[in-house]
Amino acid sequence: MKNELYNFKFSILIILILSTGCAEKMSVADGNYSEQIRLNQIGYYPGASKKAVIVNGNGAMDFQLVDAKTMKTVFHDKLSEEMSWELAGEKVQIADFSTVTDDGEYLIYIKSLGYSYPFKIEPHVLKDVFLGSVKAMYYQRMGMALEEKYAGKWHRPMAHPDDSVAFHSSSGKKVGFLNSPGGWYDAGDYNKYVVNGSFPLGQFYLFQEQYPNIIADGELHIPESGNGVSDYLDELKYEMDWLLTMQDEDGGLFHKLTALNFEAMVMPHEANSQRFIVGKGTAATLDFAACAAQAFRIFENTDAIYAQNCLLASKKAYAWALKNPNVEFLNPEGVSTGQYGDKNFDDEWFWANAELFISTQNEKYLNALTKDPFNFEFVPGDNWTKFMRFMGMFTLLENRTGMPQEVYESLKTGILRTADELLKRTQELDYFQPLDDFQWGSNSDVLNAALLMSQAYRLDPKPDYLIAVQHAADYVLGNNATGYSFITGFGHKTPMFIHHRQSEADGIVEPVPGLISGGPNFGKQDTSDGVVYPENASPMQSWVDQEPSYASNEICLNWNAPLTYVLGFLEQESN
């Protein structure tokens, strides 16, 4: 019923957009768009590369670009020769309309297939998606009611105040409680994790440091709007405030705040299992140290006292890690929520040393991060264990003060070399994206690779880097082997049944907007839970819009963070 209602509303919307009484327009507006024409369902910047992928074109030779208002052809050209894409499991042709730069709303038309979904060409075409990706974090807030005036139809009562949370024995505390309110729900579950709070927050901070105050006060329409501070900073502070509460008196960070097991698919205020402060470890402590050192720079100009408190907390965490350099976190017996485990802390040490050096200019941190050769290998997969090394590199390249020239040049050369390797993949691989290995959260791997190439563009503004980042955005917005825009609420064909407890339980047809689905995952670890993937699905097709599919269709903070960066970067650099 939920899906049927969505389809009905979608058809009505398309009619309102395109119909002016013309019979030809009505044939397009009835919702019968071709699923074989894959493109960015939101649109393209006027100067951007613009490519659509035609799947099984039935011998088509050419394509037309049609004005959606007049239904007149404004551009036509030949399709490419047919190619076989093994990762996608498809035979495809390319429609390249990059030379079209006039603002407007358009459709691709192919005689043997029909019309594509409508899309726009205009400046700031991705601004609404960018803002939506940040507003999604507001919808993940806990410890406060989401009022209808800010949350619209997704409003809900307050849940999980976390003002008196018991210590689990794994925390090292035998008695007592911790006041640890606020923060964001980590993913589709109702728990909070220091590793996966610090890491995505660091990516959000990176964007703020490079492109400050892009989101104005009031632009997100959140409770803090109107306080004279960017809504972006207000939203990030809500998560930072919680992270600060998870620091023990000795400086170490508790690993997570969770129930013992994942809650059922119920609304937050109906998830009433007892919650605990669980574990303490080196990974969480170092990730926090890095993130808090960043926070010092981010908040220094708006709240100097808060910024100093973050820096003090960072130094205290770092000192604990020096005394406890190899404390691995594993889920204790009886706890089955997200582990976010790691055995090798080299990347965490690098990130913490980099952020603390830039924030303090103390050479002890610089000496620590330069004692070993730099590692520039981009590895898809569990990015909360690997990618923070790059976060440290980006910070060092962004803030050159006090850094030896040879260190800077080594970092710059290494990042450009890795970016060139990723760029080469985008020019060779299916759907112009950089992955040939589709693991859990593959969409975030695509976006993290794009984030890395965006840093290369900032160092050396070659057009090819920018084009590769644009293609990554195209990929997550519909130009992919599933034909879906992976971002809820943005696009014509979007996930409706994400693995997200509120979206499943709230009785609303549309899921919470602005959240990116994890994406194709060839591991398909959830088939034993009743998830059914397409038969003989290729790696790029190993995704389903099914609520139980936690392996392909869940959402997560560390997937939205690079999405926000990439969209914000394009909004700044493509106009």
Phi, psi of 320 (to 5 degrees): -65, -40
Do residue 113 and residue 133 come from a single domain? no
- 95 and 244 share one domain: no
Q: Is 377 assigned a catalytic role? A: no
Does 478 reside within a domain? yes
**Is residue 526 domain-resident?**
no
Phi–psi pair at 76, nearest 5 degrees: -145, 155
Task: Answer with the one of 105, 121, 137 that is the final residue of a domain.
Answer: 121
d(CA 498, CA 483): 16
Q: Which of 451, 494, 486, 485 is nearest to 469 (CA)?
A: 451
Q: Are 94 and 53 in contact (CB under 8 A)?
A: yes
Sign of CA dihedral 144, 149, 150, 153: positive
From 160, 255, 492, 499, active-site residue: 499
Residue 42, domain extent: 33-121
Which of 100, 121, 142 is a domain's end point?
121
Q: Within its chain, how far is the Cα of 8 from the centroid?
A: 29
Q: Which of 231, 235, 545, 571 is catalytic?
A: 545
Taking 90 as the threshold, does the pLDDT of residue 384 lie above it? no
Q: What are 1-47's pLDDT values in tens digits?
A: 444 444 444 443 443 333 333 324 434 645 689 999 999 999 999 99
Q: Is residue 505 part of a domain?
A: no
Contact 352, 391 (CB under 8 A): no
- pTM, whole model, 2 decimals? 0.95
Examine the domain organization and report whether 234 and 97 are in the same domain. Answer: no
Helix locations, 300-332, DSSP H: 304-323
Give the tens place of pLDDT for each residue, 287-332: 999 999 999 999 999 999 999 999 999 999 999 999 999 999 999 9
CA atoms within 13 A on the CB side of 284: 28
Q: Is 287 one of the catalytic residues?
A: no
pLDDT tens, 486-502?
999 999 999 999 999 99
Amino acid at 13: L
Out of 189, 239, 348, 506, pick the active-site residue. Answer: 189
Element containing residue 383 per DSSP (H, E): none
Q: Which of 239, 474, 554, 571 is catalytic?
A: 554
CATH number at residue 444: 1.50.10.10
Q: What is the chain's alpha carbon radius of gyration, rounded to the nearest angstrom?
A: 24
Whether 436 is a known active-site residue: answer no
Does the pLDDT value for residue 168 go beyond 50?
A: yes
Dig out the tokens for 231 from the structure.
Answer: 């809504």
Neighbours of 464 (CB within 10 A): 17
CB 318 within 8 A of CB 289: yes
Q: Tens digits of per-residue pLDDT, 187-203?
A: 999 999 999 999 999 99
CA 189 to centroid of chain Cα atoms: 17
Q: Is 499 a catalytic residue?
A: yes
Note whether 150 and 73 are same-domain residues: no
Q: pLDDT tens-digit profile of 501-548?
A: 999 999 999 999 999 999 999 999 999 999 999 999 999 999 999 999
Q: Which of 456, 494, 477 is nearest to 9 (CA)?
A: 494
DSSP string over 450-486: HHHHHHHHHHS--HHHHHHHHHHHHHHTT-STT----
Q: Domain check: are 276 and 357 in the same one? A: yes
Number of domains within the chain:
2
What's the CATH number where 55 sits?
2.60.40.10
Are residues 164 and 55 part of one domain? no
Q: Which of 383, 351, 541, 514 is nearest to 447 (CA)?
A: 383
Angle at 172 between CA 167 and CA 175, to 5 degrees: 45
